[in-house]
A and B are shown apart, each in its own frame.
Chain A
Amino acid sequence: MEYNFKPKSKLKEFLGEKFIAVNAYVALIAILLIFIFIFKEAVPIFTDAEIQEEVTLEKMVNKQKYYEGRPAKYSWQPVSEIPKYSLLPLFIGTVKAAIIAMLFATPLAVGAAIYTSEFAPKRLREFIKPIIELLAGIPSVVLGFFALIVLATVIQNLLGLTFRLNALTAGIALGLAVIPIVFTVAEDALSSVPGTLREAAMAVGATPWQVSLTMVLPAAMPGISAGIVLGFGRAIGETMIVLMASGNAAVISWSITDSIRTFSATIAAELAEVVFGSAHYSVLFFIGSLLFVFTFIINLGGDIILSRLKTRLQGRTQ
């Protein structure tokens, strides 16, 4: 094409720039507005007297004695004579599912990434990479359904578990959803390690395995960590898989074979019914704000780790 660049009017230039800038700000403003709206619906817990009769921050965090003659406990049962809003069982459930998912997904994904970028023959790599990334295209409801119908039975028969729907099943299915995320980022990070690093290692006599483990992997660490952090954020916020495969029982226990109830599944299951403006409604939005804040902090933490690692490993000063 032939461009005929003539001197443009200053007004057009100015408008053009500002228009593009507005597009960027719109995204920022959208995120801010979403956070403000969600938090606004949770605020009545701290300000409205009628709602504070039913639930306060203290009631959501500490052990509560609900009935005379029975011990104090942490309980989530919002639809009841005495509504119970303890968040601790939900928090433990969310963390358990995410940790199991990461423990399952990270070795598989990073291992696959190392294989595809370092050792696989070129043709095999062009075959494997898209297929693993295809996993990312599976809708989470399909993964949840698969876990509910197939995976749960297989795991129960293999390990002789009491509960069919439990944290382990949900964690593994969640891991399947997280693998492509960690794999893509890790594989990109490994591939972008400069060839000079590898050549230098080989020049001093390192075997291919030694090159990968001692030179390439550490150099790609910032990228791989970023992938793990993104995967963790996804595991915390994922809803459909845990809703279908975890049993949704708000139990406090560190055993991986017990059922769990996560924050996201609670919101998904209960928000549709809740009476608008009630204490239950505000608590659900409070949980939503918590999820928002957690993922924000996780991603922020990830960014900080990244920049520190980059400084160290690549010898940069900032």
Chain B
Amino acid sequence: MKRSLIATVILIAAFGILTAGTTITIKGSDTLVRLGQRWAEEYMKHDKNVVIQVSGGGSGTGIAALINGTTDICEASRDMKEKEHKLAARNGVEPYRISVALDGIAVFINDVNQVDSLTLEDLKAIYIGDVTNWKELGGPDARIILYGRENNSGTYAFFKEHVMDKMDFAPETQTLPGTAAVVNAVSKDKNGIGYGGIAWGSGVKFVAVAKDSESEYIEPTVETVSNGIYPISRELYWFFNGKPTGDLKNLVNWALSEDGQKIAAGIDYVPLSKEAAEANMVK
């Protein structure tokens, strides 16, 4: 009994060692995590020697992991801050940024809410806490319930910088751990409003956003983000420690290729234009 047990353990270990290839860790943005997982699945079918592990946690988490050396690729829905660049330099990490897809930040409201268009000024006033009732925007007489993301989220940081002009969120903003949670909360709350990547919206209504009261109100769709006319759109990044080589280089070039970008479009992410994708590939 004992001998056969030892033999089994040795066999399993040998099997493990023989089939081990490279492992690539990808950590970071919750906005990007679905895309990362999909790309990982497809790429592993493509290249059997590579095992890719993808997890979320927020852009901030991913960047911290890159700086601490606990991940190969960091997915981020925002750029690195100066503080993070300084810390990276201190740890001997050279962040190398590649833009892999586009994203629009959609504003969600509950299906029963009649309001369907807002300007950027409106959004800012709502989230700062200056506008508190839906009736000021043409909706029902009810308090606006604000939903947002935790402060480790790239979506939070981007929304704050580009929509709120760096002003603070109202303290009543309920913070939730992921865009899926925001969508879930808004779908259950008829006076709720929330924001998140457009790849996640289902069960809620999208609000058409205009740059100001003179401009046109644009719906967040793949086309409007790709053309750059939707006012709240951003690039989604992969950060590496230094220029990627070997398996990492093959992975990112595949993701930027037609196949990779088609997969992204298939799950409601916005692909880069062909020229942009070619330009971003690692030579």
Binding site for B on A (CB under 8 A): 75-81, 84, 89, 152-153, 162-165, 243, 247-252, 258-259, 261, 269-270, 272-278
Contacts and interface: CB of A to CB of B under 8 A. Distances in A.
Contacts of A248: 150, 174-176
Interface in B32-75: 57-61, 63-64, 67-68
A164 B185 contact: yes
A153 B87 contact: no
B157 interface: yes
B172 A249 contact: yes
The B interface, classified by DSSP as helix, strand, loop or mixed, is mixed
Interface string B133-167: 00000000001010000111000110010000010
Contacts of A252: 171
A252 B172 CA distance: 9
A280 B157 CA distance: 16
B254 interface: no
A276 B152 contact: no
Contact of A165 (B68, B83, B174): B174
Given A164-B189, A165-B185, A275-B83, A249 B171 contact: yes
Main SS at interface, chain A:
loop
Given A248-B174, A251-B172, A269-B152, 20 more contacts: A76-B171, A78-B151, A79-B152, A84-B168, A152-B188, A153-B188, A162-B145, A164-B185, A247-B175, A252-B171, A258-B172, A270-B150, A270-B152, A272-B61, A273-B59, A273-B60, A273-B63, A276-B67, A277-B87, A278-B83
A258 B176 CA distance: 16
A219 B28 CA distance: 56
B268 interface: no
26 contacts: A75-B168, A76-B171, A77-B151, A77-B168, A79-B151, A79-B152, A152-B188, A162-B143, A164-B189, A165-B185, A247-B175, A249-B171, A249-B173, A249-B174, A251-B172, A269-B150, A270-B151, A272-B57, A272-B61, A272-B64, A273-B60, A273-B151, A274-B64, A275-B64, A275-B67, A276-B87
A243 B156 CA distance: 18
Given A80-B160, A163-B145, A269-B177, A275 B87 contact: yes
Q: Which of B67, B83, B192 has its CB near the most chain A CB atoms (within 10 A)? A: B83
Nearest to A279: B83
Contacts of A153: 188
Nearest to A251: B171
B94 interface: no
A273 B157 contact: no
Contacts of B192: 164
B68 A276 contact: yes
Given A249-B174, A249-B175, A259-B174, A273 B64 contact: yes
A75 B166 CA distance: 15
B169 interface: yes
Q: A89, A165, A243, A250: which has the most chain B beta carbons within 10 Å? A: A165
B116 interface: no
A277 B160 CA distance: 24
B175 A269 contact: yes
Contacts of B157: 79
Contacts of A89: 171
A252 B171 CA distance: 9
B235 interface: no
A104 B173 CA distance: 27
B79 interface: no
A275 B90 CA distance: 12
Q: Which of A164, A165, A269, A273 has the most CB of B within 10 A?
A: A273
A275 B175 contact: no
A78 B160 CA distance: 13
Nearest to B62: A273
B152 A272 contact: yes
Interface in B171-220: 171-177, 185, 188-189, 191-192
A64 B35 CA distance: 42
A78 B150 CA distance: 11
B168 A275 contact: no
B174 A163 contact: yes
B37 to A, nearest CB: 19
Contacts of A259: 172, 174
B84 interface: yes
Interface in B250-271: none
B58 A273 contact: yes
A247 B174 contact: yes
A84 B145 CA distance: 23
Contacts of B177: 243, 269
